[in-house]
């Protein structure tokens, strides 16, 4: 085979499926993987000699590519990414384009792009979302890097991503690490949305003791409304799955410990550093952490008992309507927090990220695609400088209309003794954000009392300190 269009380095689930996606669009792809056996098995399984070229050393890999070379790294984020960049970079030439499609922490991408730039290599951080199926059929790609380099790979990437209304779910969202930053926040929002689905399920299954078919009906109607989304679709598929042998719901035998790979925690940590509140995401990370304490929870369940009760004599139908509104408002607020974080990072790091482009590309291919993103996109298209989605008239109206039921659903859950960390945090975020005044004046006074930290006043400018009476 002549030189190929693109090289993929790393044949895990994502790498393999991206190669098949590329080959099915007529691109010639060179592959290389640390473990050669994996490469051999992959090429014999796919049986596409015309489009896929297997290589077995970094030099053979690089030499097989058309110049300027375009390489997509698809290995585990962290040390593995550094390792493969070190192995391949000695064989690259000035002007080649190196892309990292893994879930790299954006600060690592910043460091790597500076390192590559010193060697004359163009580095692009690609946030890729969509999982295995997305990689195969059309993911959403969030790019960050130099525009001239992006333009060299754009015609290829454009062919393999998902499309909505004919538009590719692909965009350059800023220089250097902008794409990986946006992907990190995408995953942070994903944590919140998953947690909110789980809380809604828990209220129905454990709190109200509903049958699986009734719970499926609830998610089905959510999927037909504003929350129509990939996550609702797969929730329905999961609820319908049976345990082979017993024919009981499979969910009943899945251990209640949620794993995590760190992108949610990165979102929380970064938001704290930037001073942007994202409590719906923070609480979702904490909820996964508490789920890991299975043994302690089992012990605690025998000691810390509760006395759940239905909230008054409210009928079930009303409770489910409340729950639906609470889920919708909480999802919307979670997106709002994520977009506020991207905006702050864009200002702080000079990404100049177009938020309406983020909303546009998130409508397809990615895990958090949802009908709500159409409204979000319009809101951001109308006002690119909107500091928070909650200030958009249409979205604010949705929250105003849903808020009474949202409060009641939170109260229902409290009466039932069902934990709802993200739904609660979302409502508290809404209530804090919409308040003209907050009790932070008392915090300031107390800080000044014990630490002479000073405070500002509403009636005059400057910093003030009071000589408080000693206790």
DSSP 439-458: THHHHHHHHHHHH---B--S
Percent helix, strand, coil in the chain, to 5, is 60, 10, 30
d(CA 348, CA 18): 33
- Asked if 330 is part of the footprint of ligand NBP (rule: CB under 6 A), the reply reads no
What is the token pair recorded at 188?
């942070």
- Bridge partners (DSSP) of residue 172 are 143
Active site residue 357: no
- The residues, ordered by sequence, that sit 6+ positions from 384 with a Cβ below 8 Å of its Cβ are 354, 355, 356
d(CA 121, CA 85): 11
> Using CB under 6 A, which of 77, 319, 398, 408 touches ligand NBP?
77
Comparison of 369 and 375: residue with beta carbon closer to ligand NBP: 369
> Using CB under 6 A, which of 6, 8, 14, 420 touches ligand NBP?
14
Nearest-approach distance from CB 33 to ligand NBP, in angstroms: 5
Nearest-approach distance from CB 140 to ligand NBP, in angstroms: 10
d(CA 84, CA 116): 13
Return the DSSP state at 120: T
Comparison of 124 and 389: residue with beta carbon closer to ligand NBP: 124
Judged on CB neighbours under 10 Å (0-12, 13-18, 19+), 152 is middle
Q: Cβ(124)–Cβ(144) under 8 Å?
A: yes
> Using CB under 6 A, which of 1, 3, 13, 383 touches ligand NBP?
13
> Using CB under 6 A, which of 76, 119, 221, 444 touches ligand NBP?
76
Rounded to the nearest 10 degrees, what angle do helices 393-416 and 372-382 cross at?
140
> Using CB under 6 A, which of 19, 62, 84, 169 touches ligand NBP?
84
Pick the stretch among 31-39, 105-113, 174-182, 229-237 that binds ligand NBP (CB under 6 A): 31-39
How many residues touch ligand NBP (CB under 6 A)?
Answer: 23
Pick the stretch among 34-42, 143-151, 153-161, 352-360 that binds ligand NBP (CB under 6 A): 34-42
Angle at 351 between CA 348 and CA 354, to 5 degrees: 115
Return the DSSP state at 99: E
> 106 to 165, contacts with ligand NBP by CB under 6 A?
128-129, 131-132
- Asked if 35 is part of the footprint of ligand NBP (rule: CB under 6 A), the reply reads yes
Pick the stretch among 76-84, 247-255, 299-307, 394-402 that binds ligand NBP (CB under 6 A): 76-84
Q: Cβ(123)–Cβ(193) under 8 Å?
A: no
- Asked if 74 is part of the footprint of ligand NBP (rule: CB under 6 A), the reply reads yes
Nearest-approach distance from CB 237 to ligand NBP, in angstroms: 16
> 409 to 428, contacts with ligand NBP by CB under 6 A?
none
Active site residue 343: no
Exactly one of 190, 199, 226, 357 is catalytic; which is it? 190
- The residues, ordered by sequence, that sit 6+ positions from 378 with a Cβ below 8 Å of its Cβ are 394
Q: Cβ(311)–Cβ(421) under 8 Å?
A: no
- Asked if 58 is part of the footprint of ligand NBP (rule: CB under 6 A), the reply reads no
> Using CB under 6 A, which of 23, 24, 27, 34 touches ligand NBP?
34
What is the token pair recorded at 405?
């039921």
How many angstroms separate the Cα of 245 from the Cα of each of 213, 224, 253?
A: 20, 32, 12
Exactly one of 70, 183, 343, 375 is catalytic; which is it? 183
Give the helix/strand (H/E) hosting 432.
Answer: helix 421-433
Nearest-approach distance from CB 222 to ligand NBP, in angstroms: 24
> 225 to 254, contacts with ligand NBP by CB under 6 A?
none
Comparison of 61 and 429: residue with beta carbon closer to ligand NBP: 61
Pick the stretch among 75-83, 417-425, 442-450, 463-471 that binds ligand NBP (CB under 6 A): 75-83
> Using CB under 6 A, which of 6, 7, 10, 53 touches ligand NBP?
10
Comparison of 268 and 283: residue with beta carbon closer to ligand NBP: 268
d(CA 1, CA 3): 7
d(CA 240, CA 152): 44
Comparison of 14 and 423: residue with beta carbon closer to ligand NBP: 14
- Which positions lie near ligand NBP, rule CB under 6 A? 10-15, 33-35, 38, 74-77, 80, 83-84, 102-103, 128-129, 131-132
Active site residues: 183, 190
């Amino acid at each position: 085979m002549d030189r190929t269009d693109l090289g993929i380095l790393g044949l895990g689930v994502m790498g393999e499926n991206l190669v098949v996606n590329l080959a099915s669009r007529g691109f010639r792809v060179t592959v290389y993987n640390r473990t050669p056996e994996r490469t051999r098995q992959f090429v014999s399984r796919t049986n596409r000699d015309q489009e896929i070229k297997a290589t077995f050393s970094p030099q053979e890999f690089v030499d097989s590519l058309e110049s300027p070379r375009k390489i997509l790294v698809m290995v585990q984020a962290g040390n593995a990414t550094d390792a493969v960049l070190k192995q391949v970079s000695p064989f690259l030439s000035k002007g080649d384009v190196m892309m990292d499609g893994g879930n790299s922490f954006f600060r690592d991408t910043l460091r790597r792009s500076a390192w590559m730039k010193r060697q004359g290599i163009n580095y692009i951080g690609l946030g890729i979302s969509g999982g295995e199926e997305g990689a195969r059929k059309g993911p959403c790609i969030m790019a960050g890097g130099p525009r001239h380099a992006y333009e060299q790979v754009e015609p290829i990437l454009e062919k393999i991503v998902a499309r909505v209304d004919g538009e590719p779910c692909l965009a350059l969202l800023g220089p250097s690490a902008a794409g990986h930053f946006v992907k990190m926040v995408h995953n942070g929002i994903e944590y919140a949305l998953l947690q909110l689905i789980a809380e809604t399920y828990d209220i129905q299954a454990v709190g109200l003791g509903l049958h699986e078919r009734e719970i499926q009906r609830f998610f089905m109607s959510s999927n037909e409304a504003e929350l129509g989304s990939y996550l609702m679709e797969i929730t329905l598929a999961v609820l319908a799955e049976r345990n082979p042998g017993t024919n009981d719901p499979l969910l009943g035998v899945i251990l209640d410990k949620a794993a995590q790979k760190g992108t949610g925690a990165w979102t929380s940590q970064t938001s704290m550093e930037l001073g942007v509140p994202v409590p719906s995401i923070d609480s979702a990370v904490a909820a996964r952490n508490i789920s890991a304490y299975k043994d302690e929870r089992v012990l605690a369940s025998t000691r810390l008992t509760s006395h759940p009760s239905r909230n008054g004599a409210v009928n079930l139908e009303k409770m489910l309507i409340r729950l639906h509104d609470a889920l919708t408002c909480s999802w919307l607020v979670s997106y709002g927090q994520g977009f506020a974080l991207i905006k702050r990072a864009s200002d702080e790091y000079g990404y100049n990220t177009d938020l309406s482009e983020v909303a546009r590309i998130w409508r397809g291919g990615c895990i958090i695609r949802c009908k709500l993103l159409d409204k979000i996109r319009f809101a951001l298209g109308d006002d690119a400088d909107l500091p928070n989605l909650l200030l958009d008239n249409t979205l604010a109206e949705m929250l105003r209309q849903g808020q009474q039921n949202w409060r009641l659903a939170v109260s229902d859950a409290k009466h039932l003794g069902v934990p709802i960390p993200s739904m609660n945090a979302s409502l508290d975020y809404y209530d804090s954000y919409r308040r003209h005044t907050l009790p932070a004046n008392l915090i300031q006074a107390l800080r000044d009392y014990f630490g002479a930290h000073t405070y500002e006043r509403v009636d005059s400018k400057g910093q003030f300190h009071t000589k408080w009476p000693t206790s």
